[in-house]
Amino acid sequence: MPPPLLRFDGVICRFGPVTAVGGVTCDLAAGSFVALVGASGSGKSTLLKTVNTLVRPSEGRVLFGAEDVSTLKPARLRRRVGYVFQGVGLFPHFSVAENIAIGPRLAGEKLPPARIAELLQLVELDPAFARRMPDELSGGQRQRVGVARALAGGPELLIMDEPFGALDPVTRDALGRKVRELHERLGLTTVMVTHDMAEALLLADRVLVMDKGALVADETPHALLAGAGGAVAQRLASVPREQAERLAAMEDHA
Amino acid sequence: MGEIWDILPSLGEKLAAHVVLSASAIGLAMLIALPMAVWASRSAIVARLALSLASLVQTIPALALLALFFPLLLSLRAVFGEGLPAFGFLPALMALTLYALLPILRNAVTAQANLDEGVLEAADGVGMTKWQKLVLVEAPLSAPFIMAGIRTASVWTIGAATLSTTIGQPSLGDPIFAGLQTQNWALVLAGCLASAGLALAADNLLWVIEVGLARRSRAMTFGGIAVVAAGILAALWAQGSGSDERRIVIAAKQFSEQYILAQLIGSRLEAAGYAVEYRDGLGSAVVHSAVAASSVDISVDYTGTIWTNYLNRKDNPGREAMYETIVDWEARENKVKVLGRLGFENAYAFAMRQDRARELGVTSLADLAVVASQLTVGGDPEFFERPEWAAVQAAYGLRFAKSRNFAPTFMYNALASGEADVISAYTSDGRIAADKLVVLDDPEGALPSYDALLMLSPRIAGDKGVVAALQPLIGAITVEAMREANFAVDREDAGKLTPKAAAEGLAKQAGL
């Protein structure tokens, strides 16, 4: 078995009296698409942010490759870890091209226009978008740019925090599929935080369920649908399953 | 009022000084407020503390803030040595800088607090260092708001800078103060117009920069900055183009007599070949220390003022003894040369309208004490704090129904209109004769003498040419001549003279 690309080793995160993550140990293999699912407040976002050190664990460590992320320079680490989040956070005073190129620019590298056009095409945007300003884009277009920005540095790992949470269902579905496709095409390792089990089941090949700061299930989507993973995971999985059953029943009826 | 247009072009030098002072204050305030805002954005305690302090400063009237820096800097000389200027540019700069801090700081802190969380998270997420985040994201996104604060600060500062006249810094306040004291409204309006015009121009230019920053238009931003920079450079150049040689600086406090005497002294020195410069409209408390520090070179002060304010004496040894003591004390303590007495007194005296005095049967302070409980007394803002007032009250048991403060110029109008029944007049004031006022006797001798003294700073005390040029003034000015000159400046009709013209008349009267 190849060594894991990412390893959480007894990670505990405390904020004052609150323990957001209460001791998570888990290995993620290179090339896997992992969904981190849980209710709000379950600690999933906090755990994700320990990967690019936006959050520093109170105890335990996170290994990226063989290195403890806390020993890496944040700027260097974050170039190797693409980050997409619900807020998108495009820099409003930068054009689309400047937004996409910011990571490499910080590392002293200037992205050629051809590379920016290529990145825009990867997320299915016309290369002419490069010159636009963020406030001229729709929500879905902005998040596409956000994904292109995360990919600009050629990361090994893509971490996403509720990346499609603010988008309408159609855009959300399209962008989800796109990301999955890019994951395959670019050979990425992807970790996606979501509270939407349906999204997790459809996109990921491994689903981790968190509850009150602890990892309570670690299953394949297939196993979860088959009833594995315990009570918390099943409560989350039952929603899309029942919805699917009801939809199927309607179709049968017709 | 057509004269305004004649006056405006002559204000170039004041305008240049005003621009340099205001720009320096705003620049310094930015240097302090912007790093402080960055620090405040990282610490809630710093934010609260900085904003509270800046707000506290705003509650102090600008005039008081300016005046406070004078004694503060004087006391700091104990630490930094005698070279520390307590007069003119430095105290004005410090006070105005403090004043400009709040709008800049508040806008910068608010702008930082309102930055989009997502954008800040993205800055971290793409791997920016704290410094890169500040320079690439926080600063450019806050810039339009910070610029709005700088605009507010500029308008305030340009307005408040007119007050720096009172601590000896030339500004557009000079014509305003001079005009107010001599009731020359054209001069006042010209000064106001110039400073308002400057404030408007600055506001609009900075607005262009602000909009340029908000719209990310380099042309507007840098165009605006270029014009502002050009204006400041032009002002600096205009200031610097004056000769470097130190001119003889003549001080005048804020009343007509001082303006006239300053002109009289100046014209004699110019006739003797000296280059002179006037510092008009100084606060009374500032002048004495400024002469001692050679920040100004020549002033006219009064024995009674020095006796009570600087020798801290409450006794009254008589006119001659007082003069001798002061001459010795000034030479010993301050190295200031008292060249001599001009010949007249500008003492405090109580004056009433003739009809009112007759009606009440009052000819002396002793008579006044009997009826005072039904009367209103008017005085200049300083008077009721002065020991003379305490001395008179104690000597005669004076208890008035009401006491009111008036600017010296308006005190006589108040007496005429009946708003005050009796006022603390000055014996050399032309309006005593013009308004046919009764000056009440002082049988107890409670009011000390106020001989006008010609004071020379240590810097020029030994200058034989200066002494020779000014010696003829000693003993040459009678109280009648001074009253006439004062009245010529204060009157509102066709006979009104400028202080310069009145000084010429006074010179003729004195046979000079």
Instruction: Report the CATH number at residue B224.
Output: 1.10.3720.10
Return the structure tokens found at B175. Answer: 């014509």
Mean pLDDT per block of 10 residues along chain B (512 residues) reads: 76 89 94 91 86 86 84 80 78 91 90 88 88 91 92 94 88 88 83 94 93 87 91 84 72 89 93 88 83 89 89 85 93 92 90 91 90 90 82 88 84 88 88 86 86 92 91 90 88 83 89 79
Decide if B444 is inside a domain.
no
CA distance A89 to chain B (A): 4
**DSSP code for A18:** E
Considering the segment(s) A6-253 as one domain, its CATH architecture is 3-Layer(aba) Sandwich (3.40)
Q: How far is A62 from chain B (nearest CA, A)?
A: 17
Do B378 and B499 share a domain, yes or no?
Answer: no
How many domains does the structure of chain B reveal? 3
Question: Which of A93, A142, A162 would you mutate first to test chain B, the one with the most B CBs within 10 A?
Answer: A93
* B275 assigned to some structural domain: yes
Which CATH number belongs to the domain containing residue B333 in this structure?
Answer: 3.40.190.10
CB contact under 8 A, A75 and B125: no
Q: How many residues does chain B have?
A: 512
> Mean pLDDT throughout A29-47?
92
pLDDT reported for residue B1:
55
At B172 the pLDDT is 92
**What is the span of the domain harbouring residue B67?**
3-240
Asked whether residue B275 falls in the same domain as residue B205, the answer is: no
What's the token pair of residue B334?
């301050």
Q: How far is CA B359 from CA A62, B371, B421, B449, in A?
A: 100, 11, 12, 29
Contact residues, chain B, for A54 at CB < 8 Å: 121, 124-125
- In tens, the pLDDT along A117-170 reads 999 998 889 999 999 999 999 988 999 999 999 999 889 999 999 988 878 888
Residues B233 and B261 in one domain: no
**What pLDDT is recorded for position B255?**
84
In this prediction, residue B315 carries a pLDDT of 81
User: Span A232-244, mean pLDDT?
Assistant: 89
Cβ within 8 Å, pair A91-B137: yes
Residues 6 or more apart from B465 whose CB is under 8 A from it?
B272, B273, B274
From the list A76, A78, A93, the residue facing B125 with the nearest CB is A78
Q: Give the DSSP H or E segment for B446.
A: none
Task: Give the ipTM of the model, two decimals please.
Answer: 0.86
- What Cα–Cα distance (Å) separates residue A11 from each residue in A57, A68, A189? 6, 12, 20
Q: What is the dihedral of CA B106, B109, B111, B116, to 10 degrees?
A: -150
Let me know whether B141 and B272 are in one domain: no
Classify B194 as helix, strand or coil: helix
Question: Do B30 and B104 form a contact (C-beta atoms < 8 A)?
Answer: yes
Residues B321 and B460 in one domain: yes
Best of B115, B124, B126, B215 to substitute, by most chain A Cβ atoms within 10 angstroms, is: B126
Inter-chain residue contact A89 with B122, CB threshold 8 Å? yes
pLDDT at residue number B243? 54
Q: Taking the CB of residue B47, how many other CB atoms lie within 10 A of it?
A: 20
* C-beta separation of B403 from B381 below 8 A: no
Sign of the dihedral through C-alpha A69, A70, A73, A74:
positive
**What's the CATH number where B383 sits?**
3.40.190.120
Distance CA B220, CA B224 (A): 6
Does A78 contact B118 at a Cβ distance shorter than 8 Å?
A: no
Contact across the interface for B116 and A89, Cβ inside 8 Å: yes
Same domain as B355, residue B307? no
Instruction: Report the pLDDT value the prediction gives residue B244, as an integer from 0 to 100.
Output: 57
Global pTM reads 0.76
Of B152, B126, B147, B116, the C-alpha closest to B215 is B147
Write down which residue in B193, B223, B240 finishes a domain: B240
Scan for tokens 């117009």, then name that residue: B193
Same domain, B115 and B175: yes
With an 8 Å Cβ cutoff, are B122 and A78 in contact? no
3-state secondary structure of B26: helix
Residue B125, pLDDT score:
87
The domain boundary residue, chosen from B222, B240, B258 = B240
Both B33 and B84 in one domain: the answer is yes
Same domain for B57 and B174, yes or no, is yes
At A40, phi and psi to the nearest 5? -65, 140
Contacts of A77 in chain B (CB under 8 A): 127
Neighbours of A239 (CB within 10 A): 12
- Residue of A102, A143, A160 to mutate when probing chain B, most B C-beta within 10 A: A102
Domain boundary among B199, B216, B240: B240
In a domain, B110, yes or no: yes
Q: pLDDT, tens digit, for every residue of A73-98?
A: 887 888 889 999 888 889 999 999 99
Determine, yes or no, domain membership for B9: yes
**Rounded to a whole number, what is the distance in Å from the CA of B30 to chain A's nearest CA?**
23
Residues B129, B263, single domain; the answer is: no
Question: CB-based burial of residue B451 (10 Å sphere; 0-12 exposed, 13-18 middle, 19+ buried)?
Answer: buried
Across A154-166, b (16+ Cβ under 10 Å) vs e yields ebbbbbbbbbbbe
**Burial degree of B225 (CB within 10 A; 0-12, 13-18, 19+):** middle
Are B170 and B214 found together in one domain? Answer: yes
For B127, name the nearest residue in chain A, comparing CA atoms only: A75
What pLDDT is stored for residue A79 in this prediction?
83
Cα separation, B158 vs B286, in Å, equals 22
Cβ pairs A/B, distance under 8 A: 65
From the CB of residue B121, how many other CB atoms can be counted at a distance below 10 Å? 19
* The pLDDT of residue B114: 86
Q: Is B428 in the same domain as B393?
A: yes
The DSSP annotation for A84-146 comes to: EETT----TTS-HHHHHHHHHHHTT-PPPHHHHHHHHHHTT--GGGGGS-GGGS-HHHHHHHH
